[in-house]
């Protein structure tokens, strides 16, 4: 029987090992959530939607509507109401009546994972052709950012950012300590008319330099008073980890 020379045998074995490793990596990517096993440079639209709707950095909830919905400029644009940012279509089905439910999506937007999803989504949709993805994702964030989105943000049109700065906070579940926002920003469309989202900024450090969220804290709640209805969602910090470690 004719056998291959040793050097070719070694190459064949090396290729076999490489193929097996590649297959294993592919299977890991398929089974793990994208933020753990798949490089964000390779995320597709399905991966991005998973980050926006089914990750530890995203929370969906409903509250009772105590206000008349705004039928004009307060409604979100097509990008917000549609799937471009991965917001679930079920949020479009919120009741328009007073006393009905209205859906909200709350995102821990300062994390590497969420920033990667925002940037990758913009690239895939042609909104940021010259964006340096790696630089954007790695850019240090001086504050925690929590973003609020909904099919009806009209309560935020009736009251300004200063009002919601005084009516929102992060609460540590263990210590019950509360962190107030340093400021609140209303993000509007390119024309400055439609309100797309509301961003709450929270300090990472106390005046003495200590972390505002202790390392041993496992759960943090974002709480906001919206026209007398309390929006409350919890984030499990021990799960907010990507391949590079904690991602807040």
* pLDDT score at 70: 63
Q: Is the pLDDT score of 102 beyond 50?
A: yes
Identify each DSSP E strand in 49-176 by its residue range: 58-64, 101-108, 143-150, 168-172
**What's the pLDDT tens digit per position in 146-173?**
999 998 999 999 999 999 999 999 999 8
- CA gap 124, 11 in Å, rounded: 38
pLDDT digits (tens, 9 = 90+) for 161-217: 999 999 999 999 888 899 999 999 999 988 888 899 999 999 999 999 999 999 899
User: Cβ(29)–Cβ(36) under 8 Å?
Assistant: no
Residue 80, Cβ density class (10 Å: 0-12 exposed, 13-18 middle, ≥19 buried) = buried
Would you state the pLDDT for residue 23?
A: 44
More confident call, 196 vs 69: 196
pLDDT given at position 126: 87
- The residue with greater pLDDT, 125 or 30, is 125
């Amino acid at each position: 029987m004719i056998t291959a020379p040793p050097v070719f045998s070694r190459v064949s074995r090396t290729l076999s090992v490489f193929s097996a490793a590649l297959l294993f990596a592919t299977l890991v990517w398929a089974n793990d959530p994208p933020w753990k096993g798949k490089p964000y440079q390779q995320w597709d639209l399905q991966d991005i939607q998973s980050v926006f709707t089914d990750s530890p950095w995203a929370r969906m909830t409903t509250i009772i509507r105590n206000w008349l919905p705004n039928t004009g400029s307060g409604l979100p644009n097509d990008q917000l109401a549609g799937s471009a940012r991965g917001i679930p279509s079920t949020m479009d089905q919120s009741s328009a009546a007073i006393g009905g439910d209205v859906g909200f999506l709350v995102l821990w937007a300062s994390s590497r994972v969420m920033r990667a999803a925002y940037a990758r989504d913009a690239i895939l949709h042609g909104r940021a052709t010259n964006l340096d993805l790696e630089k954007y994702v790695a850019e240090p964030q001086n504050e925690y950012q929590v973003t609020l989105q909904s099919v009806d943000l009209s309560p935020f049109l009736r009251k300004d950012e200063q009002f919601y700065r005084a009516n929102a906070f992060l609460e540590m579940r263990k210590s019950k300590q509360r962190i107030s926002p340093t400021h609140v920003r209303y993000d509007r469309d390119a024309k400055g008319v439609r309100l797309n989202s509301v961003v709450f900024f929270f300090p990472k450090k106390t005046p003495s330099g200590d972390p505002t969220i202790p390392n041993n804290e496992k759960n943090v709640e974002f709480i906001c008073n919206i026209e007398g209805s309390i929006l409350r969602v919890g984030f499990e910090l021990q799960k907010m980890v990507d391949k590079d470690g904690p991602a807040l």
